[in-house]
Amino acid sequence: MADAVYTHGHHESVLRSHRWRTAANSAAYLLGELRPGLDVLDVGCGPGTITADLAALVAPDGHVTAVDAAGDVLEQARATVRERGLDNARFAVADVHALDFPDDSFDVVHAHQVLQHVGEPVRALREMRRVCRPGGVVAARDSDYAAFTWFPEVPALDAWQELYQRVARANGGEPNAGRRLLSWARATGFTDVTATAATWCYAAPDERAWWSGLWADRTTASVYAKLAVDGGHATEEELAAIAEGWREWGRQDDGWFLVPHGEVLCRVR
C-alpha cells in the first residue's frame, strides 16, 4: 500500500519545528553535489526553508521544483521562497510514489524526513530514481526515532517515544527509517550508495525551550494528538502527561537532546 497518513500534519507546532531547518543543518551531506545551473526536485518540501536554500545554491540558472502531498503547506513554501527574493522555484502537489514528471528530468532528487512517512519507501525511491538523470543523485535523510536520546531521564519521555512508534506505524510509516535507508536504497537497485549519519543536538537554553515547547504542543494540539486518541493509542490525559514531561525536560538546565539521522546519496547510472 502506498497509502499512509502523514503522522504530524501541518499544525503550527509542527511547522515551528520544520521552519528551523536549513540546507546547512539538514542537508550538509548533499551540499557538495550542488552548483549553479542544476535542476533539483525537492520531494515532500513542507514549508520550504530547505527548498529556499537549495534554490539559492543552484541560482541563477538552476531551478528547484518542490512538491508535497499536502497543498496547504505548498502555499507556505511559496511564501518562504518569495520572502527570500528567489524566483527559480516552482511548486506542485504530488505523491512521491507516482511523480508527474518525465524520466530523467532532474540532476538532484532530494527528500528530507519524507521516506519515514510513506507507505512504500522502496517504490518511492524507485520513482525518485526514474525522474533523476543519469549522472545525477538521489538523496534522502531521515531521523531514527528509537535512537533519539536525552538527559536528564524523564519517564514521560520514555512513554512519548513508545507511543510515537505505535502511532507512526499504525499510520503506515516507519519511525526508525534512518537505519533502514541504506537497505531501502539497495532494494531499489542502487549500486553506488554513500550512507552517512548526522545529528541535531539541542542543549542551549533557547533550543531547549523551542524543542520542548513545540513537542509539548504537538502532543496535545496537532494531527498526531488526534490520531493517537482516535486510534486508541492514548487518552487525552496520557497525552497531557507526556506534554508536561516535555515541559519538565525543557526546564532542566542540564537538558540535552540528540536526534540522529541516516542519510543516503545514491548515484544514478
Ligand X SMILES: C[S@@+](CC[C@H](N)C(=O)[O-])C[C@H]1O[C@@H](n2cnc3c(N)ncnc32)[C@H](O)[C@@H]1O
Judge contact between 31 and 38, C-beta under 8 A: no
Q: Which is nearer to ligand X, 3 or 158 (CB)?
A: 3
- List binders of ligand X among 31-90 (CB under 6 A): 43-46, 50, 68-70, 73
**What does 123-154 look like in DSSP terms, one character per residue?**
HHHHHHHHTEEEEEEEEEEEE-GGG-EEES--
Q: How far is it, in rounded angstroms, from Cα 56 to Cα 67?
A: 17
Taking residues 104 to 143 in sequence order and writing x for each that binds ligand X by CB under 6 A, - otherwise, the string is --------xxx--xx-------------------------
Give the residue closest to ligand X by C-beta: 46
State which residue, 46 or 62, has the beta carbon closest to ligand X.
46
Return the range that interacts with ligand X (CB under 6 A); candidates 93-101, 164-172, 204-212, 220-228. 93-101
**Is 261 among the residues that bind ligand X (CB under 6 A)?**
no
| Residue placing its CB nearer to ligand X in the complex, 44 or 260 | 44
C-beta of residue 70 within 8 angstroms of C-beta of residue 91: no
Count Cβ atoms within 10 A of the Cβ of residue 243 and give its class: 0-12 exposed, 13-18 middle, 19 or more buried: buried
**CB crowding 42-57: b at 16 or more within 10 Å, else e:** bbbbbbbbbbbbbbbb
**Grid coordinates 510514489 are at which residue?**
97
Nearer to ligand X, 80 or 156 (CB): 80
Q: How far is the CB of 241 from ligand X (least distance, A)?
A: 25
Strand partners, 194: 265
Closer by beta carbon to ligand X, 118 or else 228: 118
| Contacting positions for ligand X (CB under 6 A) | 6, 18, 21, 43-46, 50, 68-70, 73, 95-97, 112-114, 117-118
